[in-house]
Amino acid sequence: MVPPAGRAPLLGVPLGASRVHRKRADPLALGLQVRRRPPIFRSGGRPQSDDDPALRAAPRREFVHRRGVRDGPDPTGATAPHAAHARVPDGGGALPAATSASRRRRRRLIDDRPASRACYCENVELFDSFRARFPFELDDFQVEAIRAIEAGQSVIVSAPTGAGKTLVAEFAIHLALAQGRRIAYTTPLKALSNQKFADFVRAYGEDQVGILTGDVKVNPHARVLVMTTEILRNALYGGGMEDLGFIVLDECHYMGDEGRGTVWEEIIVNAPSDVALVALSATVANVNEIADWISIVHRPIVPIYHPTRPVPLSFAIADLAGDVHDYERVRAGRVRVVGDESRGPDERSRWFTRRVVDPPVLIDELASRGWLPAIYFIFSRVGCERALDDVLQEGKSLLTRDEARGVDAAIREAVADSPALGESTLNQTVFAGLRLGVGLHHAGVLPGLKRLIEVLFERGRCKVVFATETMSLGIHMPAKWAAAASIRKASASSPSTRATDSTRSSA
């Protein structure tokens, strides 16, 4: 594929090349196009205190250079502009690849632009009309991001789940429509694209919003176009989009993914310089370093870091008996959990096992404690389907009669709209599970059926969903708890990789 005129490809690297190919490519040739390799994303906003159980729940991860050299926290404590929100807290401020010179260069580029933390939006009426849409006061980090976008700057926002990152992107949409320009809202998943499309249609109307994924193509010439990242990457190589003013990169930490991360890199490198980027993530801790790289390869970008989590997290461990124990009590040794590796060889045979609690047993425990609805992450399709079969064999419904009637009506409506949904054996199994209040969500489930499960879950008529990582990114699902059968997921490049965002449990 030949890139558009005036934009050179990454020299020495084939388009769409993996990170391995990038590493093996001629560094000098790479340097002609991108003066520094993109940094590795570090996931997880760091807890503010060593007393936070989240900090003790997982080993502290240091930054890893591509050449394998590890570095600890930044001893200088250097920060980017707008330090009130941009600074990464202690314990998460490792920015070894972001040199002092690169910070000074980005600071000069940003400070030359009209916006600053002390100023107000130039278009007061535009800002007020946007703020009037919400029945709450905007947080400082949201106002800071809005001011930067209104002044023509790019922003990268790292804030916890539920803090209101999407509101920043919505202002970019509001501004694009006011200016008569187009905005591309990209997501890594088709399911997330479908949900954003539905949300934006309700907010801005069918005429203004379109969607482009591998499965769906609706209103492709709309001002607000929701799409997967691969679709936008291909569009940029094919000549770009007319009147494009903004690109939203939702879940931008996917740039650190070994398999698909190059897609995000190519979008950033090949996006026109007059297009503002709005990058959003809940798990990027090294926002300053990512901002340094983007400022070099595209244009200056304002990093905004907001560490406050509006919904506190609690952590628990379920043993083979289905009993749920507070993580802190288990860690302190006050509770013996069936499945723990004990110290003595005799006790080891009694307590140590690789098995996990049977899904129906854990669901009963969660239901008895009022912890439903819940998402149960099992990182394989076979595992999810096996768990659903176990629930069907148990035959216990989680729904009231009225809820069950509502589910039946929704299934009949979905099959009437798409008769193909009623033909698959797997779909019939999923329908049987939904009638008990349990759903299934993985890449092998048809898009129409996945959307039905998502809608039922949002309405409270699906109490538990067995899911792979297809539900772990950005999809707004009203779950009280998230359970994970494992904290590791097998991958093609290594025996196992640590699951991050998917293993978090909230109450």
* 507 residues of the chain, pLDDT tens digit each: 444 444 433 333 444 444 444 444 443 333 334 445 566 555 554 433 334 443 333 333 333 333 333 333 333 333 333 333 333 333 333 333 445 555 555 554 444 443 433 344 567 788 888 888 888 889 999 999 999 999 999 999 999 888 888 999 999 999 999 999 999 999 988 878 888 998 999 999 999 999 998 888 899 999 999 999 999 999 999 887 889 999 999 989 888 888 888 999 999 999 999 999 999 998 888 899 999 999 999 999 999 999 888 888 888 888 777 778 787 777 777 666 555 454 444 444 444 444 567 889 889 989 988 999 999 999 889 999 999 999 999 999 999 999 999 999 999 999 998 888 888 889 999 999 999 999 999 888 888 898 899 889 988 999 999 998 777 665 667 888 888 887 766 655 544 444 333 333 333
When computed from its CA atoms, the radius of gyration of the chain, rounded to whole angstroms, is: 24
Measure the CA–CA gap between 293 and 37, rounded to whole angstroms: 8
Phi/psi at 240 (5° precision): 85, -170
CA distances from residue 246 to 79, 111, 149, 280, 494 in whole angstroms, order as listed: 26, 21, 9, 13, 37
Alpha-helical runs (H) found in 205-260: 229-237
**Residue 182 near residue 225 (C-beta atoms within 8 A):** yes
- CATH for 358-503? 3.40.50.300
Sorted by where each begins, the domain ranges of the chain are 74-305, 358-503
| Structure-token pair, residue 169 | 């992107």
119/180 Cα distance (integer angstroms): 25
Q: Tokens in use for 26? A: 């001629």
Closest to 465 measured CA to CA, from 473, 454, 476, 475: 454
CB of 496 closer than 8 Å to CB of 305: no
Q: Fold identical between 74-305 and 358-503?
A: yes
Between CA 110 and CA 154 the distance in angstroms is 10
Q: Which CATH architecture has domain 74-305?
A: 3-Layer(aba) Sandwich (3.40)
